[in-house]
Amino acid sequence: MTLRTFITGINGQLGRTLASRFLPEQVAGGDLPEFDVCNPEQVYSALTAFAPQLVIHSAAWTNVDACAREPEKALWINGMGAQSVALACAKLDIPMVYISTNEVFDGAQPGPYREYDATHPINGYGYSKLAGEQYTQHLLKKFYIVRTSWLYADGGRNFIHRIQQLADERGELAVVTDEVGAPTWVEDLADAILQLAVTERYGIYHLVNDGHCSRYDFARFVLEHSGRAHIQLNETLLANFKRDSTVPPNGALANQCASALGIRLRPWQAALLAFMRADTH
């Protein structure tokens, strides 16, 4: 079953991938500069005009360091933007998928975070995305909150392309061992979201490629499978990098709830290999 769907942030890496799953008449969306999720009247008008059966709210300000520098702007876009979309969905009785992040957690827990573990963001981005989660939960009865992490896609700037670029330029790299997460291919994430969205099993879900690794192990895998195994890769720590945002050291997510419904994403290593074989970057 395919639901007639409106996607916010349709020009982003996830939005584009989601839209590609639909026939043209089954999908619509909006993105800056023509469409602003922080404009409630504009959001309501767009949804009224298209009359979707589902809204996927993937629009967000995802520059975590910029969010740390301008937390009020982050809250406006990621929190109040979600409020605008959720209010429109509530008025029109449309289920909503809200795309969230592993950064709603503080990263202090030793193992992967499950869906109903306590949230505690430690940076402006995580705080703003948690605000969006809370607006979604408070304003809607029919919602899916989907947390994910470390997204990558073809055609965009991502960790994989950056590691390859730096390896070629420098011939030696230092990557942190104390930041952990789940690399997630947007192709797999999009399929899982659309599987979930037709279940009517509303709630909070973690959708990431299975397993987790450190940034160091992620980089090593990329080098080994892109003909760069000879590049020297050195271990370092987050404390050695000065940046505006505070990184949750453990960003690993466990897919417990979607797995119970039979929705699972393949291991991160298999997804990354498939991406690298198909990558035209």
- The predicted pLDDT at position 155 comes to 76
Percent of the chain with pLDDT over 90: 94
Give the predicted TM-score (pTM) of the model.
0.95
Given 125, 127, 152, 216, the catalytic residue: 125
| Residues 34-81 pLDDT 10s | 999 999 999 999 999 999 999 999 999 999 999 999 999 999 999 999
| Residues 244-262 pLDDT 10s | 999 999 999 999 999 999 9
Mean pLDDT of 187-191: 98
| Residues 261-274 pLDDT 10s | 999 999 999 999 99
Give me the CATH topology for the region 5-158+183-210+253-266: Rossmann fold (3.40.50)
Mean pLDDT of 127-146: 98
- The predicted pLDDT at position 154 comes to 86
Residues 6+ apart with CB under 8 A from 129: 60, 78, 79, 100, 101, 103, 104, 121
Question: Is 216 labeled as catalytic in the residue annotation?
Answer: no
Mean pLDDT of 221-230: 94
| Residues 4-14 pLDDT 10s | 999 999 999 99
Mean pLDDT of 144-160: 91
Mean pLDDT of 195-202: 97
**Taking 70 as the threshold, does the pLDDT of residue 281 lie above it?**
no
**Taking 70 as the threshold, does the pLDDT of residue 280 lie above it?**
no
Confidence category of residue 114, pLDDT binned at 50, 70, 90: very high
- The predicted pLDDT at position 84 comes to 98
- The predicted pLDDT at position 230 comes to 93
| Residues 74-101 pLDDT 10s | 999 999 999 999 999 999 999 999 999 9
Nearest to 81 by CA among 38, 145, 138: 38
Nearest to 133 by CA among 207, 63, 55, 203: 203
- The predicted pLDDT at position 7 comes to 98
Mean pLDDT of 172-176: 93
